[in-house]
Amino acid sequence: MPSAWWWPAPTGANNTTIRPRCVLKSWNRISIAIGGLRIFSTSNNVEVVSLQHEFGIFGGPAGAHIIALLKELRMPVVTTLHTLLTAPTPIQRRVMNELCERSDRLVVMARKGVEILHEVYGVPGSKVDLIPHGIPDVEFRDSADYKPQFGVEGRVVLFTFGLMGPGKGIEQVIGALPEIIRHHPNVVYLVLGATHPQLLAREGERYRLSLERLAGQLGVTEHVIFYNRFVTLDDLKEFIGAADIYLTPYLNEAQVTSGTLAYVFGAGKSVVSTPYWHARELLADGRGVLVPFGDTSAVAAGVIGLLDDPGRTSRIRREAYAMGRGSIWAATGKKYLEAFRHARAERVVATRTTFAGWTLGNRPHELPPVRLDHLIRMSDDTGMFQHAVFTVPNLSEGYCTDDNARAYILCCLLEETGGHPHSEILANLPTRYLAFLASALNPANGRFRNFMSYDRKWLEPHGSEDSHGRALWALGTGIARSTSEGHRNLATRLFSRALPEVETFTSPRAWAFTILGCDEILAYQAENPAIRDMRSLLTDRLIALWRQNTTPEWPWFEPIIAYDNARLCQALMGADPEEPHEEALAIGLESLHWLVSIQTTQAGCFRPIGSNGFYRKDGARADFDQQPLEAQAMVAACLEAFHITHDNTWMREARRAFEWFLGRNDLGLPVYDFSTGGCCDGLHPDRVNENQGAESTLAFQLALNDMARARHITARPPLSIR
């Protein structure tokens, strides 16, 4: 029997841990670093890794951190997919594609899963094993044996269990109770399970309270029991035993696996369910009752029909119990062992020596840990201070929209990634930065003001076009990525109010920043005509600017290379996947390639165009003062090019630009301060500017976040350019 390692321990309904009844031998010492946490090491020879995959339980965007683990493994991987999405977001699709590619075998728990893997992700059926959801082995007994311990003896028990949330449709059953009780007055509806933790954190017990109010309005409070607890597996089996009819009135068809349904079906219970995928498959051929979504009358008719026909109910129970024997843990364990053997047979791997493949050329570069001390130091209840004297905030310079926009983008990305220090403090900072942006929008003219004094007075009726574009970029990021519904709603309102003003702008960087904000939204809300039209308009303007100014010797958008230069390239490369723009992508790549060539020294380090004069066509370029903003922009643009082209050259260029922060620069001095988490304000000909202002610190932290994400997702599928 092959040794195997489960990651993480598979969990069943009600968050009970499933202990496979097959013995998984050789828990060898393993360790791998993911997001700064040492997980396990591969110095010993584990033969198979069994990964239990669910969106939301691994760190990073769409759980991308798990890809870092899979990249390090040299043994076969068998991945069980607990959720399969038929309409994934771009980032979810990229993670799933890589997960499928790096797994030797994929396990699904329903035939629908095999179909989705083939049709949506292109996985051949020969790579997929169908293994039903594991269930405990329980006796086939009458429900009356279990009812006295719950005080419901002599009553008909309708039962639902699992983490509670609006998608469970429990209101449909409560709505059906008056009709059910009219025919069977001794019915009681028992709902077991705590509110989903994420829902509880976001909304509290609003859903449960709405159900209680509904029961009161319908006059059925004496027939409804809520048991708001997690229970042990042994207790759960007792609850299931006491049930006469199990109900899963889910509101969404797209559920490929239901552990709760598998548990009660395998225990020999009759089921009334809406026809979501797993229920439709498991309850087919009369093994249960399927009712339409959102139809309380149908729920009532289904329950009454079973209670009125004990013979039919008894037949359904026996057939369910018999079929469930193939899903008990002993049976599913054997099937998993067969999948493990299959994976090993397909990929025979030689014994891995301890340090084989660990050369610098074969391993990703180490990144500094996330350290946010200085960001927190530079922030107060109003927002983020603009400048610092050494590491001390310079209060006399006040605040600016530019930096608070950058800070809000960083917070949204850190929320999405998770697993970083200062998580509790960061729970409040995004609100401050977004509140600053809301205050910055001048209702009189629809423009963002930029500069605010320390006494909270705005210093102009509107700021620069660039600050307006950066604010839109930040708001677009919040709409697409924030975990707070309130933040998303406010960001949407501000974005809608401020977007039309951009049509009058002449700054190409303001165009680019706005495009990047539109890209964020369109990646998650593809059907948004106003945003799509603005993106198209601004893209055409950048292309026209390129045609007007470019020459073979000067392939650039303007007769000067100034600041935040790579953002112009990045904005054109982030082509709309719904309407890919071949010319925009070609221009973005060509201009970025040239920008890289003129910002790389003979010694091989990144040398950004200096802010002390910039670089005019037919003129001399300024080599100093070099700004962190330029390194950050180059990192982001090169990673965008890498994701699109799959060309590792762009990853190397991103790394070169990032290493500028760490000391691979003209002076050989680090610009990033490892002791504070701050970043110095620039590189002079003879020294580092030791002031650690907001723009510089945020530039490093955003570049670090970009590099960390790139380690977990090697490349997105190439765009289809027409």
* CATH architecture, domain 373-712: Alpha/alpha barrel (1.50)
For CA atoms 326, 328, 331, 337, the dihedral sign is positive
Q: What is the domain partition of the chain in residue ranges?
A: 4-134+329-346, 143-324, 373-712
pLDDT range class, residue 379, cuts 50, 70, 90: very high
Backbone angles phi and psi of 100, in degrees to 5: -65, -40
pLDDT recorded at residue 44 = 54
Which pairing describes strands 156-161 and 451-452: parallel, antiparallel, or unpaired?
unpaired
Report domain 143-324's class. alpha beta
Q: By percentage, how much of the chain surpasses pLDDT 90?
A: 75
Q: At what angle are helices 310-324 and 259-266 packed, to 10 degrees? A: 110
Range in 1-5, 133-137, 371-375 the model is least confident about: 1-5
Sequence letter at residue 186: N
- Euclidean distance between CA atoms 525 and 354, whole angstroms: 47
Could you confirm whether domain 4-134+329-346 is CATH 3.40.50.2000? Answer: yes
Q: Select from 649, 670, 674 the least CA-distant residue to 660.
A: 670
Instruction: Please answer whether residues 560 and 509 qualify as being in contact, where contact means their C-beta atoms are separated by less than 8 angstroms.
Output: no
What average pLDDT does range 280-292 have in this prediction? 95
- CA angle, residues 373, 377, 380, in degrees to nearest 5: 135
4-134+329-346 and 143-324: identical CATH topology: yes
> How far apart, in whole angstroms, are the C-alpha atoms of residue 404 and residue 407?
5
Question: Binning pLDDT at 50, 70 and 90, where does residue 351 land?
Answer: very low
Please report which confidence band the pLDDT of residue 528 belongs to, taking 50, 70 and 90 as the band edges. Answer: confident
Contact 198, 165 (CB under 8 A): no
Answer for the pair 243, 159: CB distance below 8 angstroms, yes or no. yes
pLDDT tens-digit profile of 298-336?
A: 999 999 999 999 999 999 999 999 999 999 999 999 999
pLDDT in tens, 586-615: 999 999 999 999 999 999 999 999 999 999
